């Protein structure tokens, strides 16, 4: 139906960067006090840790997603909607359209850095059929339009009647806007942007609190932050007002339950509840509206909820959403391992929220959480080659998990498409004459400090060691360089008491400028170096990087008597291919030692950890047998690449610590009912 023209691009280096229109706020910062350095200004070294990920996304993930959209009939849905018929049986999910929009968004980020004529033509060919499916007043929702008399069972008989529960009409609009603005940024073409504007106008006209409008809110959030982005792109304030309406009306409409965060008005909420992806998208939207409008009440609310997540509902991997039932947050301290859900999309949402809170507050603790999620619970959701995906990301397995190339509900693969290319834009940020160095990866970046340009080059093997060399490659300017000193270096697992180190180690760090040691107090987790910088200045950073034992708060029942092991930003796990015994039946030494070994040919290159353990089993006479063995650990993100089998993150160190249940965890790899 649509010829697949996708060609392999060179290295993708993108973040959903800022916009073109001239508005009342700083469009580059989106109204935030701190301004991101755009992804197009940060070039990541190709064969580095993140360079490999970016390349896999460009060469494998995005082409795969386009192909799956074609093979699974997602494009056909638009063709059918352009020629509706009662003969069409509407299947799939009512939000299948968003997989097309999200994949276009990710591909658009590629185009912004590395133009590709064939890719652009391919996207234009998709947009022809998308445009044809749009109704005269701008409404675009193929799950209804292809067969208006017998739409999708979740759609309801008329527009909007089930938008607070099942239809996802506003959710579709949100992802449409995100993709449309990205494609406009990439090409300057308005073909997708005009489609999104027409649908947004349709919603703005029908939904609100004015006479003749329907007072409704999204059942699945994301349109809130998308509308802010559309406001920044167009300067039209009605989109900002609509975003704020959707937030302020929540808890005041017919839908009032915790699953979609409608149990209370948003300003009264203080705990993360319900569907984890919906929740984080809403919090991100609140931050965006607050940044533009200056609404501090929103900020105070997000701060309270963040404290709840980081203090009581965050996995050691940075994952969120404990329950398969409803893909939801659990109760406080409810963090099971074998049955953990931790949807990949929720990890992405967690990054979105923490990033926005950093842009609001300028504190390193938000990047500490972001980095933990990024290196562990997020990239575990996509294979090293970029071709298969996890929907849930458990912390223990008895052999019932493997990544899949696609799902009936494909929100996670298409979300990976658009997120991974955004990584370079998280590395640096600026505020006035201050530069924030937040992530450590080899790159060359161009930063604008007012009217002055500074070029920084970062060299490092992070996360495998803690040495970073930062060179001022161009520029002569006074500014303050704020270097994030990660929480794991400062003996803080997370910025709460949910997890603590249990090994009595004290790591240190050193920072030198041109060979001279830099001393000073940390401010909000940053070491500030304020000087007149010139070309050739070199900052050498060293973080001690040793294996650490982590203990959970005793209120986390699943982790009592157990420890997790991490090194630098990476959480480790024990997996079956590396050990000739059941990894669930071991006991760590009370004071374990570790051998750290670089394995260049294992899992694209990893540092493994090896430690003595005791293996428990039963002999022929039925008595317990204990033998000494050596346990090998790999980074959690790399598990499940060598077949299905046993895996554990939390390892018993106390006699009597509960072992993994022999019962199979819920295998909901193709789950999507609660999306």
Active site residues: 327, 411
Strand 477-484 with 434-437, pairing: parallel
Say if CB 643 and CB 379 are below 8 A apart: no
User: At 154, which helix (H) or strand (E)?
Assistant: none
Q: Which two tokens stand for residue 73?
A: 């009939």
DSSP for 100-111, please give it.
HHHHHHHHHHHH
Q: Minimal CA–CA distance to 640: which of 324, 383, 317?
A: 383
Name the 3-class secondary structure at 86. Answer: coil
CA atoms within 13 A on the CB side of 223: 31
Distance between CA 199 and CA 179 in Å, rounded? 13
Query: What CA–CA distance (Å, rounded) separates 644 from 401?
Result: 6
Position of tokens 């353990």?
613
Residues 495, 310 contacting (CB under 8 angstroms): yes
Say if residue 603 is exposed, middle or buried (CB neighbours under 10 Å; 0-12, 13-18, 19+): middle
DSSP string, 417-478: HHHGGGGGGGSEEEETTEEEE-----EEEEEEETTEEEEEEEEE-TTSS-EEEEEEEE--EE
How many angstroms separate the CA atoms of 439 and 594, rounded?
26
Which residue's entry shows tokens 């386009």? 66
Distance between terminal CA atoms of the chain?
A: 28
Q: How far apart are the C-alpha atoms of 611 and 589, rounded to whole Å?
A: 9
Instruction: Specify the DSSP class assigned to residue 608.
Output: E
Contacts by 208-213, CB closer than 8 A, 24 or more apart: 208/242, 208/245, 209/245, 209/249
- Dist. CA 270–CA 268, nearest whole Å: 7
To which residue do tokens 């931050």 refer?
A: 287
Q: By the 8 A CB rule, do 292 and 240 touch?
A: yes
């Amino acid at each position: 139906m649509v010829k697949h023209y996708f060609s392999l691009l060179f290295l993708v280096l993108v973040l959903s960067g800022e916009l073109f229109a001239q508005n009342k706020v700083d469009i580059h910062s989106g109204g935030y006090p701190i301004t991101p350095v755009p992804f197009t200004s940060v070039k990541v070294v190709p064969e580095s840790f993140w360079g490999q990920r970016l390349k896999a996304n460009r060469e494998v993930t995005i082409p795969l997603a386009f192909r799956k959209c074609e093979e699974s009939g997602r494009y056909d849905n638009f063709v059918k909607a352009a020629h509706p018929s009662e003969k069409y049986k509407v299947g799939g999910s009512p939000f299948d359209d968003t997989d097309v929009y999200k994949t276009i968004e990710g591909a658009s980020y590629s185009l912004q850095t590395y133009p590709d004529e064939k890719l652009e033509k391919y996207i234009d060919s998709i947009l022809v059929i998308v445009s044809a499916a749009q109704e005269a007043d701008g409404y675009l929702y193929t799950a209804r339009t292809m067969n208006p008399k017998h739409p999708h069972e979740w759609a309801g008989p008329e527009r909007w009647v089930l938008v607070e529960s099942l239809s996802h009409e506003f959710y579709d609009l949100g992802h449409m806007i995100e993709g449309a603005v990205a494609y406009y940024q990439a090409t300057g073409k308005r073909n997708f942007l005009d489609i999104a504007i027409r649908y947004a106008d349709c919603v703005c006209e029908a939904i609100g609190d004015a006479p003749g409008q329907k007072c409704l809110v999204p059942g699945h959030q994301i349109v809130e932050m998308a509308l802010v982005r559309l406001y920044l792109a167009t300067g039209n304030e009605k989109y900002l007002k609509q975003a704020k309406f959707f937030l302020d009306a929540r808890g005041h409409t017919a839908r009032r339950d915790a699953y979609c965060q409608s149990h209370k008005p948003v300003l009264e909420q203080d705990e993360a509840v319900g569907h984890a992806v919906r929740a984080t998208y809403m919090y991100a939207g609140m931050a965006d509206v607050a940044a533009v409008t200056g609404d501090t009440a929103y900020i105070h609310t997000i701060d309270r909820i963040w404290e709840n997540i980081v203090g009581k509902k965050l996995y050691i991997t940075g994952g969120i959403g404990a329950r398969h039932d409803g893909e939801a947050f659990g109760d406080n301290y409810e963090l099971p391992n074998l049955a953990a859900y931790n949807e990949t999309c929720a990890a992405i949402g967690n990054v979105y929220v923490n990033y926005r809170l950093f842009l609001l507050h300028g504190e390193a603790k938000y990047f500490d959480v972001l980095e933990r999620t990024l290196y562990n619970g997020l990239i575990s959701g996509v294979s090293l080659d970029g071709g298969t995906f996890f929907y849930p990301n458990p912390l223990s397995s008895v052999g019932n998990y493997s990544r899949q190339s696609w799902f009936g509900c494909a929100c996670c693969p298409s979300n990976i498409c658009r997120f991974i290319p955004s990584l370079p834009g998280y590395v640096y940020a600026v505020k006035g004459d201050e530069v924030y160095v937040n992530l450590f990866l080899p790159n060359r970046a161009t930063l604008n400090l007012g009217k002055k340009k500074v070029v920084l080059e970062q060299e490092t093997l992070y996360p495998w060691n803690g040495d970073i060399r930062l060179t001022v490659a161009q520029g002569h300017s006074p500014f303050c360089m704020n270097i994030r000193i990660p929480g794991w270096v400062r003996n803080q697992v997370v910025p709460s008491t949910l997890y603590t180190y249990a090994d009595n180690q004290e790591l240190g760090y050193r920072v030198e400028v041109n060979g001279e040691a830099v001393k000073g107090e940390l401010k909000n987790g940053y070491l500030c170096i304020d000087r007149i910088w010139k070309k050739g200045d070199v900052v050498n950073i060293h973080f001690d990087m040793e294996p650490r034992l982590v203990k959970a708060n005793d209120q986390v029942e699943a982790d009592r008597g157990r420890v997790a092991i991490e090194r630098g930003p990476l959480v480790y796990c024990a997996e079956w291919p590396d050990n000739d015994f059941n990894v669930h039946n071991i006991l760590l030494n009370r004071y374990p030692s570790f051998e750290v070994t670089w394995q260049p040919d294992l899992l694209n290159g990893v540092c493994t950890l090896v430690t003595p353990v005791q293996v428990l089993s039963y002999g022929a006479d039925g008595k317990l047998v204990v033998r000494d063995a050596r346990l090998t650990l790999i980074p959690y993100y790399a598990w499940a690449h060598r077949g299905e089998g046993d895996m554990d993150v939390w390892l018993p160190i106390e006699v009597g610590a509960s072992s993994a249940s022999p019962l199979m965890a819920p295998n909901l790899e193709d789950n999507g009912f609660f999306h």
